């Protein structure tokens, strides 16, 4: 009988072990930096509209620009995730909605991302002519159009692929739509949602240079960020600045994908013990694995079946 997880008691002991002082100091420094960065981005978000944005190619400006782009990427991902959960759930639960919503989604994903840019930017500028908020919203929406479609199709396919016995069990237990979403639909779609979230973040990042460095004729609609930094470095032929921007993008991508994965995995804000009980309950009901409360171990087969030498 082969264990597929470590002992739960060992995991609890590890979680109770105090961390080192260095780790605590790093966490405090990260939190302070995050708060300061968010304040700076808030000031940029609501700053007066600038007719021409000057991009500083010095290395000292690069961390600030990188953080601004990171904020836009996360804001776009939050919008994309919300859209995915609402749109795909509505399409999967109603056959009438499905017939209308899926063709609309298919048409939207077939439109090139840059096809939205000129009209969207000009529309946002018309709505907010005196503040940078119009350009910021336009940039976030543009990144959203590079993220949302594959996430939505993936989540929709996961919902349609949930086995009927699990749906029947949810109905017999009289789970509300919200409870069904939390304990059945979201966990069942987690693998595809996490994978496509990372792919979507990469897809939105692909158009960052165009989104942040957009010009239309003699109009300058640039925003301070890693994309406009890279575009300015290319125009100026500044090779060290280009290499610095590439390094910043690589460094920024690693923690961002980890955070995105954790965000999606931990979306059902439940007590860990309760979440573990739910997973064990559904897994044993579907005969996916077994569980021994005495040893607190999960197994690929039911203990009695494995002990008898049979297959589960």
| Per-residue pLDDT reduced to its tens digit, 162-172 | 888 888 888 88
pLDDT at position 274 is 53
Highest mean pLDDT (candidates 10-14, 59-63, 286-290, 303-307) = 59-63
| d(C-alpha 86, C-alpha 91), whole Å | 9
The structure tokens listed for 86 are 């609402």
pLDDT-based confidence at residue 301 (cuts at 50, 70, 90): very low
Percent over 70 (pLDDT), the chain: 72
Residue 183 φ/ψ, nearest 5 degrees:
-100, -10
pLDDT-based confidence at residue 305 (cuts at 50, 70, 90): very low
* Residue among 130, 126, 146 nearest 210 (CA): 146
For residues 278-296, give the mean pLDDT.
61
The structure tokens listed for 27 are 């966490």
For residues 47-66, give the mean pLDDT.
82
pLDDT surpassing 70 at residue 294? no
Higher pLDDT, 264 or 224: 224
Q: Going from the N-terminus, what domains does the chain have, and what CATH number goes with each?
A: 20-269 (1.10.3720.10), 272-312 (no CATH)
Judge contact between 149 and 104, C-beta under 8 A: no
Write out the E strands in the chain. 215-216, 219-220, 290-292, 297-299
Judge contact between 265 and 274, C-beta under 8 A: no
Handedness of CA 232, 238, 239, 241 (dihedral sign): negative
Through-space distance between the first and last CA atoms of the chain, rounded to whole angstroms: 12
User: Which pTM value belongs to this model?
Assistant: 0.68
Instruction: Say if residue 134 is exposed, middle or buried (CB neighbours under 10 Å; 0-12, 13-18, 19+).
Output: buried
Handedness of CA 277, 278, 280, 285 (dihedral sign): positive
pLDDT at position 310 is 40
| d(C-alpha 213, C-alpha 183), whole Å | 43
pLDDT surpassing 60 at residue 302? no
DSSP states of 278-294: HHHHHHHHTTS-EEETT
For residues 275-302, give the mean pLDDT.
59
């Amino acid at each position: 009988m082969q264990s597929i997880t470590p002992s739960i008691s060992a995991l609890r002991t590890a979680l109770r072990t105090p961390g080192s002082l260095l780790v605590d100091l790093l966490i405090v420094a990260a939190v302070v930096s995050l708060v300061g960065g968010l304040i700076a981005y808030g000031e940029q978000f609501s700053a007066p509209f600038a007719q021409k944005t000057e991009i500083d190619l010095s290395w000292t400006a690069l961390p600030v620009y990188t953080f601004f782009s990171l904020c836009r990427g996360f804001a776009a991902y939050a919008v994309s995730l919300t859209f995915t959960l609402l749109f795909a759930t509505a399409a999967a639960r109603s056959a009438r909605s499905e017939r209308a919503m899926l063709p609309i989604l298919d048409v939207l994903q077939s439109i090139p991302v840059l096809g939205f840019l000129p009209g969207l930017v000009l529309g946002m500028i018309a709505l907010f002519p005196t503040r940078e908020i119009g350009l910021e919203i336009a940039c976030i929406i543009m990144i959203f159009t590079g993220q949302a479609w594959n996430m939505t199709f993936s989540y929709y396919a996961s919902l349609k692929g949930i086995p009927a016995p699990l749906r029947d069990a949810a109905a017999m237990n009289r789970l509300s739509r919200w409870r069904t979403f939390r304990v059945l639909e979201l966990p069942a779609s987690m693998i595809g949602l996490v994978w496509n979230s990372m792919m979507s973040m990469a897809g939105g990042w692909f158009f960052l240079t165009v989104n942040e460095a957009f010009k239309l004729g003699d109009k300058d609609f640039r925003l301070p960020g890693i994309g406009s930094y890279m575009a300015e470095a290319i125009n100026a032929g500044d090779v060290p600045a280009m290499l610095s921007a590439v390094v910043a993008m690589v460094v920024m991508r690693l923690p961002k994908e980890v955070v995105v994965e954790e965000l999606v995995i931990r979306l059902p804000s439940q007590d860990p013990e309760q979440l573990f009980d739910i997973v064990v309950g559904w897994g044993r009901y579907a005969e996916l694995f077994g569980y021994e409360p005495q040893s607190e171990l999960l197994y690929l087969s039911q203990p009695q079946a494995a002990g008898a030498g049979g297959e589960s």
